[in-house]
Amino acid sequence: MAESEKTVHIDEESTENERQIISFRLGDEIFGLDINSVRRIAQLEPSTIVPRAPDFITGIMNLGGSIITLVNLSKILKIPGDEKFDQVIILKNESMDIGILTGFITDVIAINEDSQEGELINIDNRESDNSFVSGVFKAGDKIVNILYTNKIFDFVDDSISVSRLK
């Protein structure tokens, strides 16, 4: 099976106060991840369900010989709806690879650190865990919720550890 993958362009001329953010849509909101934490973007391949895994882990997939844990952030952030996911943003840290499921990557944008929009915005006034959101930035006409990559990894790792004990 041919592996389909997107190339992410990083603007080498970013200023000191700018961050490159890959933005994607979940529900009606736009979220972003620092481009430095993104290994690559790939098409969603067939996956294997993991018994007794937390509900936000939709399975695992083999991508180029690496096992990727597939994570549905909509469930973690309590965003309602049934989205169709066809792309995966692959994040890597020292202990695991995870794939953030997304249906639509909106852009790679440069965000000026000085444009932060004050207090964290509660997503659509729903109860949600803003501990995953490092800041809310305005980029042009878009409001982008920037996510803490390390907190996502910690949450996934802790949840997997707990589910193994059950």
- The dotted CATH code for 17-165 is 2.40.50.180
Q: Which range is most confident: 17-21, 127-131, 144-148?
A: 144-148
28-45 residue pLDDT tens = 889 999 999 999 999 999
101-140 residue pLDDT tens = 998 898 898 876 665 554 334 444 344 445 788 888 877 7
61-87 residue pLDDT tens = 999 888 999 999 999 988 887 778 989
Cβ(41)–Cβ(90) under 8 Å? yes
Query: Is the pTM here over 0.85, yes or no?
Result: no
**Domain boundaries of the chain, sorted by first residue:** 17-165
